[in-house]
């Protein structure tokens, strides 16, 4: 495959078209692997069954009076969530996915802002949802994914689904025949809590369909792939790239039972692709290498990697055989990891590839449905965010002497705007261009590189720009630093000192002390030496001058992004 060639994808105009055309092609193939309550084994659910359930639930929604209404959706990644999503957007109304980890008062506030009149929820969070039935809110319908029977105001999802199937048999085609306005708002998504006030992003069928086609033309994914869903599905990253993309390409989606069950579920489902965040992959890689070194010894592992790399240069690939135990530990079928939500350490991507598993990263925002740039399976740079999507135009606004400026883009997957917030919309969409708020540059090969968030930039006394994310990436590569947060502190003389809050990896430090890998010094001294070494790799004005250590990990969003502003308030 030449660098510029794209994979062929079938055109889709909306998500209803996507589902129907996938069902025509993949019919009785498993769309989902789900574990019903009380079952220890995955049970397959076909594309035909899924379409039937979506149509039934959509018919029941309209019969309930939910046509053209907002329907909130909250719960863990599961089959009922996936039915609810397409049953809402494919002919009923507007879906409002919410984060199940939010406290009850924040959920109530977002429900109020969205104007939702119905909520579909998991029994695991009923204590946050059901008390709202006693309050004066816009909510009229409470639909539980787990109740067997209706209980007053609380309706059973499964009873509603059953009723929908009966209505379809009786000839009710109101949902099935519903026309989709591809330009209208059908998804209302609240941005994650990295800012003080979550904005509500309005997306359309066209936005999502265009993003799906663009993404799948850059990465090879087909009906033989089995995908393990581990990230929160309310987030547009998992929803578009880990749910809708798989249905579009004929994959099978297996729902993970929780992060501690990843390895077990990988083996049970025979997963070939997994979407994740850097924290997941970095932790996984370190654990794999730790176990491999423990079993075989560091010299043998290093020799095996060196030998494999040399053979690959002459077209001989023995990675699957050489690292068979590692592959079997991941289920034996894994071929591709996709990382997003933050930049990953390039050494982790390189490390997985040396073991025989590709890892590519992408860059996106909820406002762009979400993918903006993506590394390709055959054309990638581990240190880059990726190549711009083929149906997006991307430019650097007002670049400095190093070519760094704000990333802006325009194209069919850019949002309609922020709900009921024209001022905020006008701030980011100007003359048809969406200003991402991220700083970066485009290299000579067309790859996009992110240097940091524009609002986080530290300006030194002599006017130099320092991106904290760049320094954090270097700090986090240390074996003894679990995570870091870099910020600027103003001085009385007008200068700004670069400071870092650091969470040391106490377990790793203890282990290496016991094995005489490092001197038996206080943790503070070990971290100071690490920071000194990192400073040597940077120009003077980027040097970290002050460090603070803390034991507790930083506060994070559900996609594992550090809540920078909350941490710096403390």
Q: Tell me whether residue 427 is in a domain.
A: yes
Output the six-digit token pair for 102. Answer: 């939010």
Peptide bond into 370 cis (omega under 30): yes
* pLDDT value for 454: 82
Last residue of a domain, one of 202, 230, 263: 202
Q: Is residue 135 part of a domain?
A: yes
Structure-model confidence comparison of residues 44 and 568, the more confident one:
44
pLDDT, tens digit (0-9, with 9 covering 90-100), for 134-155: 997 899 999 999 999 998 889 9
In this structure, the answer to whether residues 439 and 496 fall within a common structural domain is no
Total count of domains within the chain: 3
**Sign of the alpha-carbon torsion through 534, 536, 542, 543:** positive
pLDDT in tens, 61-87: 999 999 999 999 999 999 999 999 999
Residues 395 and 440 in one domain: yes
pLDDT above 60: residue 3:
no
pLDDT confidence bin for 194, thresholds 50/70/90? very low
pLDDT digits (tens, 9 = 90+) for 507-563: 999 988 888 888 889 999 999 999 999 999 888 888 999 999 999 999 888 777 888
Q: For residues 435 and 368, what is the distance between their CA atoms, to the nearest angstrom?
A: 11
Beta bridge partners of 487: 499
Claim to verify: residue 283 and residue 406 sit in the same structural domain: yes
Same-domain check for residues 424 and 477: no
- Same domain (yes/no): 441, 531: no
Give the SS3 label for residue 403. coil
Helical H runs in 270-313? 278-296, 298-313
93 and 156 in a single domain? The answer is yes
Any domain includes 236 = no
Q: Is residue 23 part of a domain?
A: yes
**411 and 466, same structural domain?**
no
Look up the CATH number of the domain holding residue 531.
Answer: 3.30.300.30
Q: Are residues 67 and 34 in the same domain?
A: yes
Find, among 506, 500, 517, 486, the residue nearest to 552 by Cα. 506
pLDDT at position 540, please? 87
Residue 424 maps to a domain: yes
Identify whether the C-beta of residue 165 lies closer than 8 Å to the C-beta of residue 179.
Answer: no
Last residue of a domain, one of 429, 453, 477: 453
- 429 with 309, same domain: the answer is yes
Q: So what's the pLDDT on residue 195?
A: 38
Q: Compute the distance between CA of residue 397 and CA of residue 418 in angstroms, rounded to an integer.
A: 22
Residue 217 lies in a domain: no
**pLDDT value at position 418?**
96
Give the domain extent around 550: 457-569
pLDDT of res. 494: 67
Q: Compute the distance between CA of residue 224 and CA of residue 26 in angstroms, rounded to an integer.
A: 11
Last residue of a domain, one of 167, 202, 237: 202
Q: Give how far Cα 520 sits from Cα of 153, 479, 505, 525, Å.
A: 63, 16, 15, 10
Helix (H, G, I), strand (E, B) or coil at 371: strand
Flag whether pLDDT at 456 surpasses 50. Answer: yes
Query: Residue 9: is its pLDDT beyond 60?
Result: yes
415 and 483 in a common domain: no
Is residue 508 situated within a structural domain?
Answer: yes
Cβ contact 389:213 at 8 Å? no
CATH number at residue 433: 3.40.50.12780
Residues 367 and 485 grouped into a single domain: no
Residues 429 and 563 placed together within one structural domain of the fold? no
């Amino acid at each position: 495959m030449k660098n510029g060639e794209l994979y062929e994808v079938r055109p889709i105009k909306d998500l209803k078209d996507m589902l129907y055309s996938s069902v025509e092609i993949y019919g009785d193939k498993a769309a989902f692997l789900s574990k019903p309550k009380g079952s220890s084994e995955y049970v397959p659910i076909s594309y035909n069954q899924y379409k039937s359930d979506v149509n039934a639930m959509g018919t029941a929604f309209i019969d309930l009076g939910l046509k053209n209404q907002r329907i909130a959706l909250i719960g863990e990644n599961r089959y009922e969530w996936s039915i609810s999503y397409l049953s809402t957007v494919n002919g009923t109304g507007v879906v409002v996915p919410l984060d199940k980890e939010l406290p009850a008062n924040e959920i109530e506030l977002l429900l109020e802002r969205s104007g939702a009149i119905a909520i579909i929820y998991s029994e695991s969070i009923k204590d946050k949802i059901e008390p709202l039935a006693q309050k004066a809110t816009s909510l009229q319908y409470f639909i539980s994914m787990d109740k067997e029977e209706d209980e007053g105001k609380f309706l059973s999802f499964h009873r509603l689904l059953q009723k929908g199937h009966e209505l379809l048999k009786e000839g009710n085609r109101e949902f099935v025949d519903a026309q989709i306005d591809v330009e209208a708002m059908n998804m209302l998504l609240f941005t994650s809590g990295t800012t003080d006030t979550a904005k509500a992003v309005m997306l359309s069928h066209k936005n999502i369909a265009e993003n799906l086609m663009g993404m799948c033309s850059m990465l090879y994914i087909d009906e033989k792939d089995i995908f393990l869903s581990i990230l929160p599905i309310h987030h547009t990253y998992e929803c578009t790239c880990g749910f809708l993309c798989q249905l579009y390409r004929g994959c099978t989606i297996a729902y993970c039972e929780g992060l501690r069950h990843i390895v077990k579920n990988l083996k049970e489902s025979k997963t070939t692709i997994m979407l994740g965040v850097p924290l997941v992959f970095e932790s996984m890689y370190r654990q794999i290498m730790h176990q491999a070194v423990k079993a075989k010894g560091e010299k043998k592992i290093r020799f095996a990697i060196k030998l494999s790399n040399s053979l690959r240069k002459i077209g001989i690939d023995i990675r699957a055989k050489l690292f068979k135990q590692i592959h079997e530990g991941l289920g034996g079928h894994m071929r591709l990891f996709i990382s997003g939500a933050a930049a990953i350490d390039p050494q982790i991507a390189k490390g997985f590839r040396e073991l025989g598993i590709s890892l590519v990263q992408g860059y996106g925002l909820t406002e762009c449905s979400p993918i903006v740039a993506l590394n390709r399976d055959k054309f990638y740079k581990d240190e880059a965010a990726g190549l711009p999507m083929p149906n997006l135009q991307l430019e650097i606004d007002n670049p400095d002497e190093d070519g760094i400026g704000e990333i802006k883009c325009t194209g069919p997957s850019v949002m309609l705007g922020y709900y009921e917030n024209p001022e905020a919309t006008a701030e980011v969409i100007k003359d048809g261009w969406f200003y991402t708020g991220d700083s970066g540059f485009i290299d000579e090969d067309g790859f996009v590189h992110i240097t940091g968030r524009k609002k986080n930039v530290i300006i030194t006394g002599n006017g130099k720009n320092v991106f904290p994310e760049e320094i954090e990436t270097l700090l986090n590569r240390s074996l003894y630093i679990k995570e870091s947060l870099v910020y600027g502190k103003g001085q009385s003389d007008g200068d700004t000192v670069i400071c870092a809050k650091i969470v040391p990896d106490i377990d790793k430090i203890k282990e290496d002390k016991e094995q005489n890998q490092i001197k038996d010094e206080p943790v503070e001294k070990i971290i100071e030496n690490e920071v000194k070494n990192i400073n040597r790799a940077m120009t003077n004005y980027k040097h970290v001058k002050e460090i603070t250590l803390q034991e507790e990990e930083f506060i994070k969003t559900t996609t594992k992004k550090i809540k920078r502003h909350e941490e710096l308030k403390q």
